Amino acid sequence: MPAASAVSLTPRALYEQVAEQLRQRIFRRELEPGSWIDELKIAEEFGISRTPLREALKVLAAEGLVTMKVRRGAYVTEMSDKDLHDVYHLLSLLERDAAAAVAANATPAQVQQLQTLHDELVAAAEDRERFFSLNERFHMRLLELADNRWRSQVVADLRKVMKLNRHNSLFKRGRIDQSLSEHAAIMAALRARDAAAAERAMREHFTSGLEAAG
């Protein structure tokens, strides 16, 4: 039987690397919501052809970060008030269900992992960038512990879209302190193994977040 021909694989496909670069530019507001993405300029800047760039844009379009318009090209997605409300609504449904699952099923060591992240979050209250990063880590770790990969995947995609409205809610005066208080309520429910209280605390957390983002 003839030997199979060797296939050369790179650790990460070029278009995925390009997608990540563009994703971070969107999150940093270097590419503003509603702005047109100049494919020629970006391809030249990255030193690539337009083929991997277009593949990258397809990835970002599937995530909701980019909107493709017929004969007009790619644009950074703009979040309407309805979009924001819809994303928060779905995140609330999914994450409060996850919080209830963690309260009911997590080991003491796993609850302590979340407590450690919460303590780090409290310590980072004066450092907004670190606070935002730790906040996301807390929520995604809770999703991991809830152990439903499909829910985690959907939430991860929704959180990318939510970053189109990045940090706006936490810029509101007093919102970080309020958010920490809500996190404390979630942690109290998790430590008490009270699934109903954990679900309620997470719902209130997202309700407050949406009010601050509006």
List the chain domain ranges: 14-76, 81-213
The CATH number of the domain covering residues in 14-76: 1.10.10.10
Distance of CA 101 to the CA centre of its chain: 20
- Distances in whole angstroms, Cα of residue 181 to Cα of each of 2, 3, 96, 126, 187: 66, 63, 16, 15, 10
Q: What is the pLDDT of residue 4?
A: 44
Backbone angles phi, psi at 123, to 5 degrees: -65, -20
Q: What is the pLDDT of residue 163?
A: 86
Q: Is residue 10 predicted with pLDDT exceeding 60? A: no
Q: What CATH architecture is 81-213? A: Up-down Bundle (1.20)
Closest C-alpha among 202, 205, 204, 88 to residue 146? 202
pLDDT band at 6 (very low <50, low <70, confident <90, very high): very low
Block residue for tokens 């907004």: 128
> What's the pLDDT tens digit per position in 157-177?
999 998 887 555 556 778 889
d(CA 208, CA 177): 12
